[in-house]
Structure 1
C-alpha cells in the first residue's frame, strides 16, 4: 500500500518504517528459519521471490506493512538494517456477510534478543492506532497458532476476543470491534507520532 511509503511512526522503544527493497535480504534471512515460518504460517521463498513480495506489499491496496526498528540501535548510527527486529502487517478485506471492512493484523519479532522487550506490544499498538486513524475500518482480526501463548495473551491484552478455533489449521481467530470506547482505550495506550520518511 502506498499510504505509508513516505512516513514512519515513532514509538518509545521502536520505530515503524516502510518496508523497502534494502530490507529484503535481512528479512529473507529471518524467513529461512523454519520455526519463524511455522509461527507466521509463511512459505519459504527464494530471495527473488522475496523481492517480488516486498513490491506487492508496496503496490497492493489491500496490504500494509512496516518494518520494526529498535529505536536505541537505530539512534546509534541511523542504520536501519542493524536496527531491524521484526515486522507488522495488515491484510484488508470486506466481510461478505456484513460488508464490514476488516484488517487482519500480524506481528513478528524475528530477532531472538528482541523478544520479551515490549517491542512487539508497542509496534502492534502503533499499527492498530495508525490503521484505525487512517483507514475506514470496522474491526481488526488476528489468526494465531494455538500453541503461540505469547501472541494469544498479547491480543487478549488488546481486548480482542476469540471468535473461532479451527483444529485442522491449529489456529485461533480473535477479533476486536472498533468502537468509540475501544478507540479511547487505544489512545490511552499509545500516542501516534508520524514523521516524514524519505528512505
Structure 2
C-alpha cells in the first residue's frame, strides 16, 4: 500500500519502517525456516518470488506492511537491515455480511535473539493505532495457528475475542470491533508502552 511508503512509526523499543527491496534478502533468509513458515502459515518462496511479494506489499491497496526494527540496534548502527527483527502486516477486505472494512492483522518476530522482549506487543500497538487513524476500518481480526500460544495470548491481551476455530485448517480466528471504548484503551496502551509514538515522514 502506497499509504505508508514514506512513514516511520516510532516507539520506545521498536521502529516500524516501510518494506524496501533492499530488505528482501534478509527477509527471504528468515522465511527459509520451516518452523517460522508453519507458525505464520506462509509458503516457501524463491528469492525472485520474494521480490515480487515485496512489490505487491508496496503497490496493492489491500495490503499494509511495516518492517520492525530494534530501536537500540538502529540507533547504534544507523542500518535498517542490521536492525530488522520482524514484520507486521494488515490484509484489508470487506466483510461479506456487513460490508464493513476489516483488517486482518499479523505479527512476526523472526530474529530469535529479539523474541521475548516485548517487541511484538509494541509493534502491534503501533500498527493498530496507525491503521485505525488512516483507514476506514470497523474491525480488526487475527487468524492464528492453534498451536501458536504466544500469538494467541498477545491478541487476547489486545482484547480480541475468539469467534471461530477450524480444526481442519488448524486455525483460530479472533475479532476486535473498533469501538469508542476500545479506542480509548488503545490510546492509553500506546501512551504507556510507546511514549515516543509518532509518525515521521522518511522522505523529508
Is 1:76 the equivalent of 2:81?
no
Cα deviation code 1:50-95 (max 9, x no counterpart): 0000000000000000000000000012100110000000000001
1:186 aligns with 2:186: yes
C-alpha separation between the residues in 1 aligned to 2:203 and 2:169? 40
In 2, Cα distance between equivalents of 1:7 and 1:145? 30
Distance, in Å, in 1 between the alignment partners of 2:6 and 2:112 is: 29
Q: 1:168 & 1:49 partners in 2: Cα distance?
A: 28
Shift of 1:188: 0.3
Aligned to 1:97: 97
* 3-state SS, counterpart of residue 121 of structure 2: helix
Where does residue 200 of structure 2 map in the other structure?
195
Residue 196 of structure 1 deviates from its aligned partner by 1.2
Mapped partners of 2:46, 2:97: distance in 1: 37
Q: The residue matched to 1:44 in structure 2 has which SS?
A: coil
Cα separation, 2, equivalents of 1:151 and 1:41: 13
CA RMSD of aligned residues (A): 0.9
Matched length: 199
Deviation per CA, 1:6-29, whole angstroms, max 9, x where unpaired?
Answer: 110000000000000001000000
CA separation in 2, counterparts of 1:125 and 1:131?
10
Residue in structure 1 matched with residue 153 of structure 2 by the alignment: 153
Counterpart residue number, 1:48 = 48
d(CA) in 2 for partners of 1:45, 1:198: 30
Per the alignment, residue 123 of structure 2 pairs with 123
Unaligned runs of 5+ in 2: 192-196
The TM-score normalised by the length of structure 1 is: 0.98
Moved >4 Å (runs of 4+): none
| Counterpart-to-counterpart distance in 1, 2:199 and 2:94 | 27
* Distance in 2 (alpha carbons) for counterparts of 1:125 and 1:25: 27
- CA drift of 1:96 comes to 1.4
Equivalent residue number for residue 3 of structure 2:
3
1:79 & 1:95 partners in 2: Cα distance? 40
Unmatched 5+ stretches in structure 1: none
**CA–CA separation in structure 2 for the residues paired with 1:150 and 1:86:** 15
Q: Residues 89-138 of structure 1: CA distance to partner in whole angstroms, max 9, x if unpaired? A: 00000011111100000000000110100000000000000001110000
